[in-house]
Chains A and B, each alone.
Chain A
Amino acid sequence: MNLRAKAVRAAWSQFMIVVSGLCAGMCGAVLAIVVAYVIGKGIKAINWTFFTKLPTPVGVPGGGVANALVGSIEIIVMASLAAIPVGVLAGIYLALFGRGRLAALVRFFSDVLTGMPSIAIGMFAYALVVIPTGHFSAVSASVALAVIMLPIVVRTTEEAVRLVPTMIREGALALGIPAWKATLMVTVPVARPGIVTGVLLAVARVAGESAPLLFTAFGSQFWSRGVGQPTAALPLVIYTYANSPYADWQQIAWGCALILVVLVFALNLTARLAFSSRVAAN
């Protein structure tokens, strides 16, 4: 009797282990299905004109999304220029000097900010930049994306700097190097792979963001005429064309989706490689 009860319990345990494995497997399967679908639909749209030409009206063949590609890059680069320096400095502060209640508060609200809806952050950029300047612009989109990037860069930089052994830094200080120099020229270079990982992850996160661009970059059918003007971006092209009833426009949406997925995955995998090479070096 006792033995049988034990066998039942062991069998139940085995069964549930398989079930939990299936849960993990399902996540992988969903990813595979979505990615396969995007590749299957998107690959047909990809050709040379897709990358080099402007969009054409419905029915006119040979349109591309060159302006959206350039617009996306423009917006992301400007956002990075704003968010990365500030985020890295804040992360260094939290890791090296961040004791006390206020630092804990900064840490806490960075985490909270990571969870804020991107569309609300887009509204913020709209209210902050678009309303006062009077028109949609690439700059306002960059403000929104920078806000999204900032907490990610802060927290990953903090992690990376925290991992640097204090001995290295103390060695530098013992040689009489000022603290700021020891930080920037000794601690930060050692932590660099981790910081790069964080930056790449932050860029990957915002590269596919579409909600905040709706009220800021707004989208455009033409080349951008400057950072203060409405600008096309890949995620916006997907949104606009996904809702259209025309097959060739939907096709372009799938092409853009494929580009975004490839870009985001490449950034994620590179980030992971950059990090694992650091682990290997230790």
Chain B
Amino acid sequence: MSQESAKLVSATRAAAARPVRARTSPAGDRIFSFVLFFASYLVLAVVAGLFIVLLQRSWPAIQAIGPRAFSNLWSPNDAQFGVLSFVYGTIVSSFIALLVAGPIGIGAALFLAELAPRKLATPVAMLIELLAAVPSIVYGLWGLYALAPFVRTYIGPALQHSLGFLPIFQGPIYGVGMLTGGLILAIMVVPTVAAISRDVFEAVPRDQREGMLALGATKWEMMTKAVLPYARSGVIGALVLGLGRALGEAMAVVLVIGNKPQIVASLFAPGYTMASVLANEFSEATGKVYISMLIEIGLLLFVVSLVVNVAARLLVWSASGRGRR
């Protein structure tokens, strides 16, 4: 046996004697899984942090103003901080948005999920996603210079002419106002409603449809009597998610709603929302209570959105296979 081969044999024996576990590195794995674990719980920490930090900074206002915050009078110069008109404006503008965007979004989703050929559905779905991608400030700019004049000259007078007996369509039409704000929000909410409803429709089992068709139903009857009832909770979830988006939108609304803290019946009159008051008044806010009060509005907005989104996600999750999306 040559010296070289003896060396080789001893080296091989040594290698064989080394424990196999040395080649895996449990220490590395432990560090790695700790890092992953930490990163994912950061998400929970952020949500908790949002609440805690906002609560902490709005505490001076909560103490100074207390329940009077829910009065109707907003006049920071006189130390009157009542947010009721903002809450009202948020609810009304979001309601208009849902009223317009709901049927259109669900209709579009039905078309994309059930009726359109694939070749058409893919590009149309992409257009709707791009609609969601347009920055809100761009919608605001467009709303201010294109939609508001259009509401003033066409939509407003037409509504007044046909439905002017209703108090909500009375009074002067400025262009900027609650209605224009609601319409801009509708455009921004439609993609959310359409995309989520479509997912929910596509999760409806084939058997449901085939059974209905086998009974001699038309395509539309199949959709309204088999698909929609099955997907109902998910569609409601989609609408609530849209509501969540409308509630919290600031920049598009602040440019077109008129920014006047008042509660009036007319939809043509200027209004104000929680999000838009933050966008509009924060830079000029002076004094500890004023700033703290605005943060309190932010906290309120956060809590309302949290409740709305939790409800919506629960509905959507239950309808489209939980946790999959």
Nearest-neighbour CB distance to chain A for B29, whole angstroms, equals 5
Q: Which one of B44, B106, B249, B250 lies within 8 Å of A105 (CB-CB)?
A: B44
CA A139 to CA B145, docked complex, whole Å? 33
Contacts of B139 in A (CB 8 A): 34
CA A151 to CA B105, docked complex, whole Å? 25
Q: Please tell me which stretch of B2-10, B17-25, B72-80, B260-268 contacts chain A, meaning at least 4 of its Cβ atoms lie within 8 angstroms of it.
A: B17-25
A204 within 8 A of B: yes
Q: How large is the interface on B (under 10, 10 to 19, 20 to 34, 35 or more residues)?
A: 35 or more
A13 within 8 A of B: yes
Q: How large is the interface on A (under 10, 10 to 19, 20 to 34, 35 or more residues)?
A: 35 or more
Please indicate which of the listed interface residues B138, B255, B317 has the most CB atoms of chain A within 10 Å of its own CB. Answer: B138
Interface string of A99-118 (1 = CB under 8 A from B): 00011111111111101111
Contacts A24-B107, A28-B127 given; does A214 touch B282 at CB 8 Å: yes
Q: Please tell me which stretch of A50-58, A221-229, A234-242 contacts chain B, meaning at least 4 of its Cβ atoms lie within 8 angstroms of it.
A: A234-242
CA A107 to CA B145, docked complex, whole Å? 40
* Chain B contact residues: helix, strand, loop or mixed: helix
Q: Please tell me which stretch of A62-70, A88-96, A190-198 contacts chain B, meaning at least 4 of its Cβ atoms lie within 8 angstroms of it.
A: A88-96
Contacts of A250 in B (CB 8 A): 145
CA A128 to CA B45, docked complex, whole Å? 14
Q: Once the chains bind, are B298 and A120 in contact (CB under 8 Å)?
A: yes
CA A124 to CA B299, docked complex, whole Å? 9
Q: Which one of B47, B53, B133 lies within 8 Å of A265 (CB-CB)?
A: B133
| Total contacts A-B at CB 8 Å | 284
Closest chain A residue to B138 by CB distance?
A: A257
B135 within 8 A of A: yes
Q: Which one of B126, B133, B251, B313 lies within 8 Å of A204 (CB-CB)?
A: B133
Interface string of A249-273 (1 = CB under 8 A from B): 0100110010011001100100010
Nearest-neighbour CB distance to chain A for B103, whole angstroms, equals 7
Given contacts A38-B142, A112-B47, A261-B138, 20 further A-B contacts (CB under 8 A): A13-B221, A17-B115, A21-B116, A23-B103, A25-B124, A26-B108, A89-B36, A93-B39, A106-B40, A108-B317, A115-B241, A115-B312, A117-B249, A120-B305, A127-B57, A154-B40, A180-B29, A210-B135, A242-B140, A265-B133
